[in-house]
Every structure is written in C-alpha cells, then in structure tokens.
Amino acid sequence: MDSFLRARCLTIGILADIFLLKKLLDRRLSLLFWAVVFLFYTTGTFGFFMGIPVFNAALAIPAGFVIGSRLAAENVDQVRVRKAAQHTAWFTTGVLVLVCAASAFFALASSSTASDLRGMLGLNFMVTQGMIIGLILVGGAGLLAICWGLSVTSVRLTYQFLRRAI
C-alpha cells in the first residue's frame, strides 16, 4: 500500500470518527453491545500479540471510558461510580483471567517455550519449566492487578473529566 493510499485511509477513518462516533455514543448502546466489542478486541489483541496477554490489560482503559462516560451522562452519585468501577474491573479482569489461562496453556503445552524465551530475552542460562510456571503465576497475578487498577482508574477519571465538562 503506497503512502498516499494510507494517508487517504487514515483521513477517512478520522473523519468517520469525528462525524459518526459522537452519534454512536449518543445512541446509548447497551452494555451487552460494548461487552461484545470488548471481547472482539480482546480476541484480536490476543491473536495479534501471538498469545502474550500483556497488551490485553490495556483494553481496560477504553472499557472504563465507556462506563465512565455513561455515568457522567446519567449524572450519578459517587457511590454508583464506585460500584460501576468495581463491576467494570470484575468484568475486564475476569476476561483477562481467561486470556492468561489460555496463554499459560499454550506456553506449557509447547516444547519450545523455554528456548523461545531464552532467544527472545537474550538469556545466557537455561530456562526451566519451574521458571516458566513462576513467570506465569507472578506475571499473571501482576497483570491482573494492573488490569483491575486500569479499569477502576479509567472509570473514575472519565467520570470526573466529563462531569466537569458538562
């Protein structure tokens, strides 16, 4: 694809966002719709990064944006914001648990995981199965904590920002 065609596609995408996204968000699409969109992007991110779930945690940010913007439009109180932020965190983190479990399964089922890690990270020692399991447990727990924090923070910051803007 030449650069002129890429620039044209980018321009069309930006114009579509400007003119269509606001209308789409104003239509008050159901939470089920947004959950399906979240699951779609989760699957795409998991595949794009070849089973490494690190970047899936970042999807908690747009999920929090959707919920926070709905709360701001409904002009709810802080108690409801706190509850909605927790529900959002449970959903995003729950989906990430499944993603991490799938990633762990693929890593443990593959006979080349140790050599892949060694080559990818430039390690000069042998990677054992215990090290892989430890990485899965510690890294997964940390990733889940990050996802939870991103979800809650994203809902709260979006709500606060949009409440001030209204």
pLDDT digits (tens, 9 = 90+) for 130-144: 999 999 999 999 999
pLDDT score at 1: 55
pLDDT score at 25: 60
* pLDDT of residue 21 exceeding 70: no
* pLDDT of residue 47 exceeding 60: yes
DSSP letter at 68 equals H
Cβ atoms 31, 119 nearer than 8 A: no
135's CB contacts (< 8 A; 6+ apart) are 117
| More confident of the two residues 23 and 80 | 80
Give me the percent of the chain exceeding a pLDDT of 70: 93
Amino acid at 124: N
Radius of gyration of the chain, Cα coordinates, nearest whole angstrom: 20
pTM of the model: 0.81
* pLDDT of residue 24 exceeding 70: no
pLDDT score at 5: 80
pLDDT digits (tens, 9 = 90+) for 54-92: 999 999 999 999 999 999 988 899 999 999 999 999 999
Domains of the chain, residue spans: 29-165
Cα 157 from Cα 136, distance rounded (Å): 31
| More confident of the two residues 126 and 25 | 126
pLDDT score at 7: 78
Cβ atoms 87, 155 nearer than 8 A: no
Cα torsion angle, 129, 133, 139, 140, sign: positive
| More confident of the two residues 153 and 6 | 153
pLDDT grade, residue 166 (50/70/90)?
Answer: low
